Amino acid sequence: VSMKEILCDARKNRYGVISLLGGNLEMVIGHIMAAEEQKAPLILTFTQEVTPKVPLELGMPMLVNAAKRAKVPVATILDHGDSLETVMKAIHLGASAVMFDGSTLPYEENIQQTREIVRVAHALGVSVEAELGSITGSATGSGGFNAPVLRPDNSDLKAASTDPEQAAEFVERTGVDALAISFGNVHGTYQGEPNLDLDLVGDIYSQVDIPLVMHGASGLAFSQYPAIVASGISKVCYYTAAGIRAANDIHRM
């Protein structure tokens, strides 16, 4: 299923779609069962950083085959791809979407590399997500995929935020289908209270015509998600809290 179609409908009708990590088969089945129960679309994510012992060649086909069996629309995406080579591998393995993360590159280089990936992916019918602004932290930490990391102090996040005018230019010059933005959100678990700039999200939403993506949605109160979606976010990436909860349950067995 096309991620672009799922997210464009979400943007048009102002609802959010959750993106969940497919770390193993049990998690994937659970994610799909929950989506089917809610009659909601779903995006299944493969992130090499989070599951370093699961090769892309094994992980992505697992997601793709599970998505085909689902009774609701399910897209599959490579998360935080760092090169054209990795992105192409995911596409050949059946991913319906890829994310290229060039956020640490100089702005013009991010545009250049993202535009090339968009050109190749679109020719193959694959959606592309990119990132602009610095979403710091990690979903892993040194202890492996179950180990949380502390997020930077919120006072450091302002400088990393996505600029609305730059976002508009980036979208126009690259042709991406979705854009991950930085507005106080970071990967991992919070150090202190989260300080999300939802006014900034609204400003970016008004400047671009594609769905916006939030990475780093763990650790928030459930009451915060409606406001996040209402501000203009269409895709919500959620993993760390679920991974910690699953690991704790296993340890108790």
- In DSSP terms, which residues pair with 213 in a beta bridge? 180, 235
**146, 139 contact by CB (below 8 A):** no
Catalytic residue among 79, 101, 163, 177: 79
Report the C-alpha gap between 91 and 97 in whole angstroms.
Answer: 8
Q: Is 79 among the catalytic positions?
A: yes
Encoded tokens for 53 = 């012992």
Task: Answer yes or no: are the C-beta atoms of 191 and 150 closer than 8 Å.
Answer: yes
Rg, the chain, Cα only: 17
Question: In which region does residue 192 sit, left (phi positive, over 0), alpha (psi from -120 to 50) or beta (all else)?
Answer: left
Q: What phi and psi values does residue 39 have, to the nearest 5 degrees?
A: 55, 45
Which residues participate in catalysis according to the annotation?
79
